[in-house]
């Protein structure tokens, strides 16, 4: 007969359980602190939007009385609806064009064979290392040359191409079996047909993820529109909110009310698209 296995001392079992519980509590505590650090600025913005002009500079978080009239005041002082429509239109067109151009480039880098493909891809990817300020002056000079300053097209075209978007979609397309392309070619499908009817539907999680990131990034774009736009009616919302620092001095409570209203479309977008976003990130992480 075989000898019975040695029993693990109960003291070791208890100490291991204590360490596991302590580690779990420490991890949850760290996550709670990080969550508060991320939510804190949003809570401060929301509470400040209900303060009076004199209370806005007060370090106290809670207002003495919640002034709901700050929100109608924002609509009265600036053309908030016009600025919001401008932001939605610009972000929408940039998202549409960037997703389309990134998908085309990703298809070429992932599914087609041509000389120097990988070298061109890494060169294209290297543009992500360039700070945006380095490209600001050359891009602005190009816009001046083509007469696109103070136009919507001048805001949309420079943002219609993305190395990050190309890289993201390329990773998705590399995970699609090559046999699907070969089967489609045997059936007589062209390269465009393969791209449009085979690859794009299978890359939907990546397309949705890129679309959400692009829309959110361009909806709150500030510096480039500030440089390009001169006509007030063409201002996107972030630039239009500067009126509270110029015409009314430091009207912080109105500025915070305007910013709070400006994030509503993004919250709605995230609520409706969160499943697709999470699924796209998970699939991209696995394929990457």
pLDDT tens sequence for the chain (288 residues):
455 545 555 665 666 666 677 777 778 888 888 888 888 888 888 888 888 888 877 777 788 888 889 899 988 888 999 999 999 999 999 999 999 999 999 999 998 888 988 899 999 888 888 887 888 889 999 999 999 999 999 999 999 999 999 998 998 898 888 888 888 888 888 889 999 988 998 888 889 889 988 998 899 889 899 999 999 999 999 998 887 765 556 788 888 899 899 888 888 887 877 776 666 665 554 444
Q: How confident is the model at residue 205, as a pLDDT?
A: 85
**Based on the number of CB atoms within 10 Å of its own CB, is 35 exposed (0-12), middle (13-18) or buried (19 or more)?**
exposed
224-258 per-position pLDDT tens digit:
999 999 999 999 999 988 877 655 567 888 888 99
In a domain, 12, yes or no: no
Q: What would you measure as the largest C-alpha separation in the chain, in angstroms?
A: 93
Instruction: Confirm if 206 and 169 have CB atoms less than 8 A apart.
Output: yes
In a domain, 3, yes or no: no
Q: How confident is the model at residue 1, as a pLDDT?
A: 46
189: phi then psi, degrees, rounded to nearest 5: -75, 140
Instruction: State how many domains the chain has.
Output: 1
In a domain, 266, yes or no: yes
Q: How confident is the model at residue 119, as a pLDDT?
A: 92
Instruction: Confirm if 224 and 236 have CB atoms less than 8 A apart.
Output: no
82-119 per-position pLDDT tens digit:
999 999 999 999 999 999 999 999 999 998 888 988 89
Whole domain around residue 202: which residue ranges?
Answer: 72-287
Q: What angle do CA 157, 162, 163 make, to 5 degrees?
A: 145
In a domain, 278, yes or no: yes
Dig out the tokens for 246 from the structure. Answer: 């110029």
Cα gap 262→84, rounded to integer Å: 7
In a domain, 211, yes or no: yes
Q: How confident is the model at residue 235, as a pLDDT?
A: 93
Q: How confident is the model at residue 134, as a pLDDT?
A: 83
Cα gap 46→257, rounded to integer Å: 7
DSSP secondary structure code for residue 55 in this structure: G
Q: How far apart are the first and last CA of the chain?
A: 52
Cα gap 194→244, rounded to integer Å: 52
0.85 exceeded by pTM: no
**Based on the number of CB atoms within 10 Å of its own CB, is 51 exposed (0-12), middle (13-18) or buried (19 or more)?**
buried
Sequence-distant (≥ 6) Cβ neighbours of residue 51 within 8 angstroms? 58, 63, 67, 70, 253
| CATH number of the domain encompassing residue 79 | 1.10.3720.10
In a domain, 27, yes or no: no
In a domain, 249, yes or no: yes
**Based on the number of CB atoms within 10 Å of its own CB, is 279 exposed (0-12), middle (13-18) or buried (19 or more)?**
middle
Sequence-distant (≥ 6) Cβ neighbours of residue 120 within 8 angstroms? 109
Instruction: Confirm if 270 and 208 have CB atoms less than 8 A apart.
Output: no
In a domain, 32, yes or no: no
């Amino acid at each position: 007969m075989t000898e019975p296995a040695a029993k693990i001392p109960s003291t070791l079992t208890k100490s291991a359980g204590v360490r596991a519980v302590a580690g779990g509590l420490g991890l949850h505590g760290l996550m709670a602190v990080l969550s508060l650090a991320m939510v804190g600025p949003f809570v401060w913005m929301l509470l400040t939007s209900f303060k009076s002009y004199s209370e806005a500079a007060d370090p106290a978080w809670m207002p003495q009385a919640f002034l709901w009239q700050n929100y109608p005041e924002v609509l009265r002082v600036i053309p908030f609806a016009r600025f919001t429509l401008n932001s939605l239109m610009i972000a929408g067109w940039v998202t549409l064009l960037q997703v389309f151009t990134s998908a085309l480039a990703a298809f070429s880098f992932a599914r087609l064979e041509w000389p120097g493909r990988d070298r061109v891809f890494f060169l294209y990817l290297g543009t992500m290392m360039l700070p945006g300020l380095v490209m600001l002056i050359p891009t602005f000079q190009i816009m001046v040359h083509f007469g696109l300053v103070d136009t919507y097209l001048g805001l949309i075209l420079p943002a219609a191409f993305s190395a990050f978007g190309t890289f993201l979609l390329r990773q998705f397309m590399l995970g699609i079996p090559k046999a699907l392309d070969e089967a489609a070619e045997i059936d007589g499908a062209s390269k465009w047909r393969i791209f449009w009817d085979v690859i794009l539907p299978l890359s939907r999680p990546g397309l949705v993820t890129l679309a959400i990131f692009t829309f959110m990034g361009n909806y709150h774009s500030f510096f480039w529109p500030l440089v390009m736009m001169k006509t007030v009616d063409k201002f996107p919302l972030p630039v239009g909110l500067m009126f509270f620092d110029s015409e009314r001095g430091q009207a912080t409570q109105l500025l915070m009310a305007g910013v709070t209203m400006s994030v509503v479309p993004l919250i709605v977008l995230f609520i409706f698209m969160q499943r697709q976003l999470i699924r796209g990130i998970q699939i991209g992480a696995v394929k990457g």
